[in-house]
Amino acid sequence: MQKAPDIFSYKPFWAKRFGISSHLPASKAEMDALGWDSCDVILVTGDAYIDHPSFGMALIGRLLEAQGFRVGIIAQPDWSGAADFRRLGKPNLFFGVTGGNMDSMVNRYTSDRRIRSNDAYTPDGLPDKRPDRCVLVYSQRCREAFPDVPVVLGGIEASLRRIAHYDYWSDKVRRSVLMDAKADLLVYGNGERQAVEIAHRLAKGEPVGALTDIRGTAFLLKEVPAGWKILDSTHVDKPGEITPHPDPYAEKPACEEKDPVETFARNKIDPSQTVIRLPSFDAVRDDPVLYAHTSRILHQETNPGNARALVQNHGSREIWLNPPPIPLTTAEMDRVYDLPYSRLPHPAYHGAKIPAFEMIQHSVTIMRGCFGGCTFCSITEHEGRIIQSRSEESIIREIETIRDTSPAFTGVISDLGGPTANMYRLSCKSTEIEEKCRRLSCVFPGICKNLGTDHGPLISLYRRARNLPGIKKVLIASGLRYDLAVLSPEYVKELATYHVGGYLKIAPEHTEAGPLSKMMKPGIGAYDSFKALFDKYSKEAGKEQYLIPYFIAAHPGTTDGDMLNLALWLKRNGFRADQVQAFLPSPMAIATAMYHTGKNPLRRISRKSEEVYIPRSATQRRLHKAFLRYHDPDNWPVLREALMKMGRADLIGNGKHHLVPRYQPVGTGMKKPGRPFRTQHARPARGKA
């Protein structure tokens, strides 16, 4: 894989003489106290400003500060006009704009498109402190405030909208956010390398229009520059009729395909000077098949070791995407997380409770990225599939810092994790294979033979962390990949014995093969294997502990019958979910492409290729959620009606083997007086459900 300069190897900017601030200034008065007459970079975010490495703008801000730049922050500004965007004056280099740690639309709306009543990233959880489509609005206001200052978009909201994308909330395909935001650059993925290079090159006097060679960025141009070989996306992945198969890689054995560099060399094509032309915005807007094909190509070009540049026409302009950024080394990760964060909200909030901060203030990020490839998840599109891990020493230092400085610390570390709790230091056994591979998952449909699965370094970290003086408990709250965990019984024993607070949340997501194959999740047998180990080691430790499984309703590929079978599984196993999650099509996810197009981008796309069943209507989505909460009397009427239509009236009755009873408690369901449910088709069930 191409090497990148160490992000701490740049010569510091002259303003480093001003030193380190206790927190990034958010007002002119704070700038004056630091002796600043201006900011070099101003970061604008939709979240409250919390100086903690779990919050993207704090991390980028502290990193740029370490490079010598004067960084100010404007958090949750008044977007009704440009005045609030002038509060720190004109930045010397650029505005950095993000919607925050979450996509602003996901933050504000439920999967049923209902407005949420609170915002976890706002003081006191108050809603309506950020606009819809944050980065678009903030970018436009920055441009109004200072028209000649470069605007750089970043964060997950920008990452997931870097090309034409299906927007669930408006139910249409929208243009790249760069077009509507009128920004100069878009940073996608983890932004440390890009932010540092952008700042230093602008500080040296380069115009923002010249910054076209930075990995992990996207920008607008009028035409493809001379010297580039344009490769049509249909040549990279020729559409064709396919035969459905449970293994999405069956068409071309992953990790065994020929090196694309060698292939290009034979054809006298330089891959570093090759750009793949995606179908245009107009084409993907009007043709779902081309949209699905584009999604497939985009996800095949996510490995930094072999990804090529992409270009997509938007009318008179082209959106150009450089290959993804090179992952940070362990040494770089350590230095990023060792920066002098106060780990507290900005003093201007006067102690107001910020729910997201309350949850993560005593957690520690140990790794980034995920090679799971779950189609409904956006981690791969944003952080990538290559795991980036910190050293054990750096993690221990952060735990000690929390212990010694946090005023609210009670001795409990709430999490040692990241996108996945147990992928710490896991990687491909061969660098050469890793750089060639185009698999979207290293663990589906089975765990790749080339994947290293040693949990030893993680076990060592857990043992050292919990034995630190002053540490009473170290919990694991991040999502656990249990199909990996069962390969290391010692890890499961360590987890169950010392690091679970009574309940452990894990995410099988479903029990049925149909939806699981579209999610790229393992079969329920992997859950059963993990549960057996977890129960065994919990019992040996003398602890009564339980697994809390999470499931998704209405995911592409899920039929009513699938949800019925899941409900029966839940009842057999004694689970009664308090909250349920319906599939939310986030921009750019593979499952979102399935939802929008009815096609399966995990396999080659054609007019005749595999059709994916989509539970799209509000009525069916409510039904699928009702199956997950089969025990709720409010759901019984709709479940009875559905069971009748499905020919499963045998599941309606008052026995233990029935799913829903015949009676209806007063004040529930249809809000009519309680009375028995009767139908001429209903009959007592025979045998076990």
> To which H or E segment does residue 591 belong?
helix 590-597
Nearest to residue 656, comparing CAs of 631, 628, 623, 626?
Answer: 631
Residue 646 in domain = no
Tally of domains in the chain: 1
The band of 609, judged by pLDDT with boundaries at 50, 70 and 90, is confident
Q: What is the pLDDT of residue 606?
A: 86
Residues 22-40: tens digit of each pLDDT: 999 999 999 999 999 999 9
Distance of CA 645 to the CA centre of its chain: 37
Share of the chain above pLDDT 90, in %: 87
Judge whether 443 lies within some domain: no
Partners of 311 in the β-ladder: 277, 320
Q: Provide the H-helix boundaries in 444-500.
A: 456-466, 482-485, 489-498
| pLDDT at position 3 | 86
Cβ-in-10-Å burial (0-12, 13-18, 19+) of 100 comes to buried
Q: Sign of dihedral through CA atoms 370, 375, 377, 379?
A: positive
User: Is 504 in a helix, a strand, or coil?
Assistant: strand
Angle between helices 192-203 and 56-66 (to 10 degrees): 40
CA-closest candidate to residue 101, choices 157, 26, 140: 157
Tokens of 168: 């669930």
CATH number of domain containing 39: 3.40.50.2300
Whether 638 is in a domain gets the answer: no
Q: Is the pTM value of this prediction over 0.85? A: yes
Is residue 432 domain-resident? no
As a whole number, mean pLDDT of residues 507-532 equals 96
According to DSSP, residue 124 is labeled G
Question: What tens digit of pLDDT does each residue of 429-481 get?
Answer: 999 999 999 999 999 999 999 999 999 999 999 999 999 999 999 999 999 99
CB within 8 Å of 281: residues ≥ 6 apart: 164, 173, 175, 176, 312, 313, 314, 315
Q: Answer yes or no: is 27 within a domain.
A: yes
How far apart, in Å, are the Cα atoms of 317 and each of 155, 270, 403, 561? 23, 25, 53, 47
Cis peptide before 77 (omega within 30 of 0): no
Sign of CA dihedral 129, 135, 137, 138: positive
Residue 318 falls in which region: left (phi positive, over 0), alpha (psi -120 to 50) or beta: beta
Report the alpha-carbon distance of residue 151 to residue 169 in Å, rounded.
Answer: 26
On average, the pLDDT of the chain sits at: 92
Write down the pLDDT at residue 669.
Answer: 85
Is 75 among the domain residues?
Answer: yes
pLDDT of residue 681: 35
Q: Which domain holds residue 163?
A: 14-213
- Which of the two residues, 252 and 668, has the higher pLDDT score? 668
pLDDT band per the 50, 70, 90 thresholds, residue 273: confident
* Angle at which helices 590-597 and 288-300 cross, to 10°: 170
Q: What is the pLDDT of residue 381?
A: 82
pLDDT tens-digit profile of 291-338?
Answer: 999 999 999 999 999 999 999 999 999 999 999 999 999 999 999 999
